Amino acid sequence: MSTKLYKLRYPRNVYMNLSYSLSEFPERFPKVDDDGLSRLGYRNMFLRDRVIIFTVSKEKHIVRIVRMLHGKQDWLRIFLEYLNEQ
């Protein structure tokens, strides 16, 4: 039985080892700890000193990396400001 992998769309500067981790089972990473963002499907994972914020389209089998921020920053506040600017 073959497993259908998710296609990844990400900025060029994202670590390449994200591809395997996110393409296998992206739902294993938690939704962002914010009710509004969680309802919109935003998830986060930590990689070394970075937090990667992404969404998963189950219908299209696509993982979309939205932002990558330094984990020691107030990344949730920065991400909310980023979304408000869009």
Contact 54/43 with Cβ under 8 angstroms? Answer: yes
Contact 36/79 with Cβ under 8 angstroms? Answer: no
Low-confidence ranges of the chain (pLDDT < 70): 1-20
Contacts of 25 (CB under 8 A, 6+ apart): none
Indicate the domain borders of the chain: 7-85
pLDDT of 43 reads 95
pLDDT of 50 reads 85
- In 3-state terms the chain splits into helix, strand, coil percentages (rounded to 5) of 30, 30, 40
Assigned architecture for domain 7-85: 2-Layer Sandwich (3.30)
The model carries a pTM of 0.75
pLDDT of 1 reads 45
Residue 49 burial (10 A CB sphere; 0-12, 13-18, 19+): exposed
